[in-house]
Amino acid sequence: MLRVQSMIPIIIHSVFFCGMATVAIAGFLARIHYLTHHAKPHGLGRTAWIYWPTQISMIVAAIAVWTLAYQFFAMKDFPVVSAWSCTLMGAAWVAAAILNKYEHHYEIRSSSAIFAFYVTSICGALAILQTALDPGSGTDYSVTPLVVFTLALTTGFIVEAWPRGNTRIQRSSNVGMYGKANLLSRLTFWFFTPIISIGLDRILTAEDIKGQLPKSLEAYTGYKRLSRAWDEALQRHKRSSSTTSKETSPSLFWTVLKNSWEMLIPVLLSRVAIVLFSYTLPVLLKELLGYLEDHESKPVSYGVTLALGMFTASLFASLLNTYNRYQMLTLGVASRSALISMIYRKALRLSAGSRNEASSGKIANHMSVDADQWWNAIVYISMWIEIPLALFISMKMLYNLLGWSMLAGVLVMLSLLPLQAWQARVFQSIQSGKLKAMDERMRLTTEVLSSMKIVKLYGWSTAFLRRILEIRNQELAYLRRIGVVEAFMSIIFISSSLIISLVTFAVYALWGGPNFTPGTLTPQTVFVSMTLFAMLKGPIASLSDATTSTIGVLVATRRIQQFLLKEEVNEADVVRSEFLPGNPLDPVISIKNASFSWASPSQYELRPDPDERTALLATNDDPHNILVPTLQSIQLTVPQGSLTAIVGRVGQGKSSLLSAMIGDMYKLKGQVELCGLVAYVPQQAWICNATLKDNILFGNEYDEAKYRHVLFACGLEPDIAMLPGGDMTEIGERGINLSGGQKQRVSLARAAYDDADIYLLDDPLSAVDAHVDHHLWENLIGPSGLLGKKARVLVTHGTHHLREMDQIVVIKDGAIQERGDYSHLMGSKKDFYRLIKEYTVLERRRSHTTIKRRQSKDTPAEGVSATGEENDSENPSTVGEAVTDQDTSDDEAKGPSEPLRNTNAVLIGAEKMKEGEVGFDVVLYYAKEASYRITATIVVLFLLAQGCLVSTSLWLKHWIKVSKETEDGESQSVFMFLGLAVARIRASERIHSHLLEKVFRLPMAFFDTTPVGRIINRFSSDIFAVDVRIPNKLIDICLFGISVASTLLLIVFTTPSFVVILPFLLVGYWFVEKCFLSVSRTLARIYIISKSPVYQHFHESLGGVSTIRAMKIQERFIEKNAAMVDRMSNNFLSNMGSRRWLDVQLRILSTVVLLCAALFAVLQRDSMDPSLVGLTLSFALTITEEVTSLVRNFCDLQNQLVGLERIIEYTDLKTEAPDTTDVLLPSNWPSEGRISFKNYSTRYREGLDLVIKNVSVDILPSEKVGIVGRTGAGKSSLTLALFRLIEAANSYWAKESDNSRSLVADAALIDILDTDDSDDEECGGYIEIDGVDISTVGLEDLRRHLAIIPQDPTLFAGSVRDNLDPFQELEDADLWEALERAHLKEIISGLAGGLAFEVSSNGDNFSVGQRSLICLARALLRKTKILVLDEATAAVDVETDELIQKTIRKEFADRTILTIAHRIKTVMDSDKILVLEKGRVEEFDRPSVLLRKEESLFYRLAEQAGEI
């Protein structure tokens, strides 16, 4: 015994001084090396009142401990270990002083290493001091140096730990709060308290939480590291594949983990430390129970020390656990940001084949769902270190208590492992299927939402709704299977610790004694074992979560990996140089014997069938359908400053040639070289959601003179004068509030301002009027224009500018048939000559027909509409002058050009964020969708199951066998979890269905003002929360809530004194929850709202990826993406920081429960049964985690309910009129096609001016009416009104479908809307078709009885049949007949599958002209008397235009046709011309009558177009 006592000081010195000092010296030296070689000095100086006191305290501490070492060395029989331990400790503090110097030079916060060394050194010194002062220790040396050492360190620690927020250095630094916090502040999350304080005073804003994201976690930093690691992994894989025949691929999952090893290793080591600290509690509990059984032999102070020890160990483990969890989250956020950056960059590099495989919706899922799995992935991955260690320690301690009997429990546990493996295998398979179904659902949803105007015009909402719901049902089937698997596995793992403990105690009671005699169950044995089994419950139950989540991360990462491994554009296909050739005679574009294809080169060898896109562009003469290149043997040079035209018929490869130049196509052979900067103007203008000015500048520096010159050259000055905010007007997503012509001219202005050397222009003049065409040619594109000295390659369907071309290239069947100037090609009398002659004949024929029609109609038309008197108040000359600078294209295609009243020209407002707590009505909504009956049954089953578990604990106290209640509890649990599976699927199905149906029925104004990314966010992350996160949180709340309640009741029952502190604890819990909820809901909403711009920008980038790549501005968009991701990550960490702050407060309160229970046991040791104490403390030890989990899950549920709240926000919006009504229409309605506008007025939405004003027009049956007018005149508005995409002003449905107040985030705008005194409160009139007021007809009934060929020919992913007949109502013969009349039968029949041929997303595997012909076929299939042509021939060549016009004249001869066109010649042969000006009828008469009036607006337009 004396020998052991004499060894205690040596052991303490070895552990507390020698061990700590050795580790500290190594760590300090490593830290000094890092700072001097990798860190940058902050340059802000140092805080003297902190630096010098800490330096002095360290030196004093070193001298004091060396003095103690000198005493040891001076002793005769000196303890060698003690002497050298003190020497090392002194050296460690000298090293700390040196490190402190560097820390103040490089860092603005307290050193975590020095901070931790202060704490451990003080604790070690106190332990040694306590031992030295013990009367029985036999100390024979002076303890004064040890006291000085302790006091010096305590003084230094107080200064080191002092908050530095008010120091000059931290005030001058732009580092966030987390970056300034010391280790203690981070452990207790004290640094987050200022945000909590702000949240208690007012609603938090995004500005209040800036700076939470450390620089090391920013997207660009993470991307650089992960991208480098992934590239190295790919290189290693290539080297290994060359030496082995195995077909493997590198693992992105392991690459992410290895890339984070510097942060991951400390995280994992701290998880080990947390486990070790946690398992000191059963040891201390055993000692405390032993003391209570024999308390007379030891003083009360010993029991109090044990109680305080349990409190300290629990508190330290809790703080470390919270800090560690936050570190894991930051690591997960860094991984997520890096993956999103890699996905975004990859999306900008995809080849043509890869882009066909990966739709926008699917790639969005990679960002929003797959990458999002990583934010908490490290938490579950670390469990695979924590769980085995916890199981090993538990088993070892159980063996010490129960001997070999614990093997019974081990065998039960091992029997669960096969089930775990089965669950992993099954769950992975189900999860993969679910994600595929979700990808398909999101792809189709994104496509439909992006083209909602077309869907509504065709009346196809029901068809697409049905298709999406069918895919959703497949997704729910997978969810249902996941729910069943989780239900049974949850039963097994939750009850496993109880089963293990019962089996182990039974074996111990029967054979656990010596020689297999019955074992003796003592309070120590039973309740320490109970505690260990309860602690086992966590790791065992976590196995299910760890397995599920790890598999989820693996599957998600594998999906990302497959995307990252997709084929990229080969940059070497096109040799690009940023500089012009030194010799002016050298060409800037040189293509030598090159062939290109949209299909991968490998498919030419492996697939005999034609590729989708190539087949469309190839000839159909080959009976074997051999796959041929899209462009073959191209030989072309473009000199500097030249103007080259690319001409040819539809589908011959004109646009493909430009795509080949910018590297979008596969190069099969040959050489392509571009010298100089490139600007690209696509056929369909790409406009960003930004101001008009920003769309033009496009990241370039602002030059006033240059900017004004570009605006004039592009004819944009009059348009800007009309816009509400001038050039600072916000342009909506996809240019939603610009006309087709305006969008194209903005696209041209962007290219012109970029001041490039090469301009690739893909038919930009097709969308503009004749006079605007002339203006653009003279001032921008032509020889005397702004770009006159640049190399220009112009794809054109027009022929009027060809004489001025330096070079004309004729494309036919993917090859250059002719090349030369106009006179040369006309002289050769080949394809170009025939094309020009055919055009001339067509024009002559059309002109002759027009003259005949005019001569035959010599009687004057009926009078102009009632609004004709407005001409008296208009100045004709002013009107004419205005028209000369405007195009008459699709003026209000998707939104108004009229001013927004007092809204600063903002179209796309900030997303609305609710304030305050998530209402209980949101929870009731979920319960209603899940079924109230099922919900109530589940709660009752939870109560019964918990009652059974508590009864088992009481049975252990009274030493009786397991009652039948426990067995009943298992069956109840089975029904409970199965009921949860049923409820969650029902809720998910109904909520998604309601959301989808409501969004499909929202008025068009909603889609005009809401970015698609914002809507998609509801269908992706918010629906994911409903499918997975909300039900999981509800399960956890029920489990933990009932468990905590039963635990508190049991403690009160066994220890009545606990009632005294219970109210204080409850008040503490309430106050902490109140503080947390004051900020958490707002932080969750800020975070969720910050996600939408990421997805919106992503969709926007994908839409313009060709332009981005051609102009080589990828880095600019990548930087913008990174900034948005960083903002999202910052808001996410703020949200998570609030949760960790909550964790700390709850754990401190819960450790107080443990301390009180232990102190009551010690102080009332004479009157309490040790078994009661054991039962109470065993429950008290688990309450920390349970209370923390309960409150955290409750608050998490509040945050997840924000997603459901956002869904409800959309489901509460007002819809447009019903699809069907009680009005009975004749089966052949409309039978005549008479259209009457009766004093009709309309606006796009509340707060806007009228776009149509008091229009009264009668259109007779079978009459052909051309509608013309300048931008903003109301041409397209009239057609939208006919289809009821907009309603009559102040009509019932105009008011009932108005959501302008519901979606406005700015209260000031709401006030403006509320106080808006419109000057026209009277009813906006009505429209009749064949005498039926269309406002009384259902929308689907109306729209399906009208036909339209829209300006933007839109196709959807699916078969050709689906695009022609989505309702599957027609026979194949009808479809082939329509295709034949639309001149498409040969093309479609030549495709693989014919009508079953798969159309790619957005119809990308068809040319724009072919898409227009498919839209014509759709119109032919509609057996209706009314047809609307909305700029239908804008994007086709003259021959195809004539084909369409010929078909229309023949097939629609007996139908009423309304034609909106900017080519005046298109409407010259109309029966009547309707001229609109500022929403009013300016003129309405026969063309011959209007052309006889030289003062008429139509006369001026015809004169400008050269038709007179």
* pLDDT recorded at residue 962: 34
Cα–Cα nearest to 190, from 1141, 1133, 1143: 1141
* pLDDT recorded at residue 794: 92
Cα(1247)–Cα(451) distance, integer angstroms: 25
Q: Indicate the angle between helix axes 280-293 and 300-347, nearest 10 degrees.
A: 160
Q: Can you read off the two tokens belonging to residue 1049?
A: 């009741």
Q: Can you read off the two tokens belonging to residue 1508?
A: 């007179």
* pLDDT recorded at residue 95: 92
* pLDDT recorded at residue 2: 35
Cα(289)–Cα(303) distance, integer angstroms: 10
* pLDDT recorded at residue 59: 92
Tokens 């009457």 belong to 1236
Strands, sheet with 1480-1485, edge to edge from the N-terminal-most edge strand? 1347-1349, 1426-1430, 1456-1460, 1264-1269, 1472-1477, 1480-1485
Cα(637)–Cα(1167) distance, integer angstroms: 103
* pLDDT recorded at residue 324: 85
Cα–Cα nearest to 80, from 129, 24, 19, 10: 10
Contact 524, 473 (CB under 8 A): no
Backbone angles phi, psi at 983, to 5 degrees: -65, -45
* pLDDT recorded at residue 94: 92
What angle is formed at CA 1064 by the lines to CA 1063 and CA 1070, rounded to 5 degrees? 90
Low-confidence ranges of the chain (pLDDT < 50): 1-8, 605-625, 842-905, 913, 916, 957-976, 1304-1320
* pLDDT recorded at residue 378: 82
What angle is formed at CA 1374 by the lines to CA 1371 and CA 1378, rounded to 5 degrees? 145
Contacts of 603-607 with C-beta under 8 Å, sequence gap 24+, read: 603/627, 604/668
Beta strand 643-647 pairing with 791-795: parallel
Residue type present at position 6: S
Q: Can you read off the two tokens belonging to residue 11?
A: 């052991």
Sign of the CA dihedral 1186, 1188, 1194, 1199?
A: negative
> Going by C-beta distance under 8 Å and a sequence separation of 6 or more, which residues neighbour residue 1054?
1172, 1175, 1176
Q: What is the DSSP string of 714-753?
A: TT-HHHHHHSTTGGGPBPPGGGTTS-HHHHHHHHHHHHHH
* pLDDT recorded at residue 916: 47
* pLDDT recorded at residue 1057: 75
Percent of all residues in the chain with a pLDDT value above 90, rounded to a whole number: 4
Residue type present at position 14: S
The per-residue pLDDT for range 466-520, each reduced to its tens digit, is 889 888 888 888 888 877 777 666 666 666 666 777 777 778 777 776 777 776 6
Sign of the CA dihedral 1354, 1356, 1359, 1361?
A: negative
